[in-house]
């Protein structure tokens, strides 16, 4: 992990709708990947781990979006 701030953290405060828009797209992609894992699309263990790792990364990005949204709303 780097010490550089993410693009979401850099630009979302300037564009309040960005965090919400990005979060929606991330949630859609996460649902797609979760359905693939549940339906057994992974053809081997490495592919399964890659998909689950992507889901974990998306979950972290969604949490960043939620943080930004809360900060913008004063929560």
Q: What are all long-range contacts of 33-41, with beta carbons under 8 Å and residues at least 24 apart? A: 33/58
Stretch 57-74: mean pLDDT: 87
Question: Whole-number mean pLDDT of the chain?
Answer: 83
Q: Could you tell me the two tokens for 70? A: 């809360």
**Percent of the chain with pLDDT strictly greater than 70:** 77
pTM for the predicted model, two decimal places: 0.72
Residue 44's pLDDT is 92
- Using CA atoms, how far apart are residues 66 and 11, in angstroms rounded to an integer? 14
pLDDT digits (tens, 9 = 90+) for 36-57: 999 998 889 999 999 999 999 9
- Phi, psi (degrees; rounded to nearest 5) at 12: -60, -40
Give the count of beta carbons closer than 10 Å to the beta carbon of residue 61: 19
Q: Does the pLDDT value for residue 30 go beyond 90? A: yes
Asked if 8 contacts 19 with a C-beta cutoff of 8 angstroms, the reply is yes
């Amino acid at each position: 992990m780097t010490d550089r701030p993410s693009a979401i953290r850099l630009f979302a405060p300037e564009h309040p709708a960005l965090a919400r828009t990005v979060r929606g797209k991330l949630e859609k992609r996460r649902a797609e990947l979760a359905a693939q894992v549940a339906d057994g699309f992974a053809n081997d263990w490495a592919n399964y781990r890659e998909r689950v790792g992507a889901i974990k990364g998306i979950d972290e990005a969604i949490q960043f979006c939620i943080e930004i949204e809360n900060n913008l709303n004063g929560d």
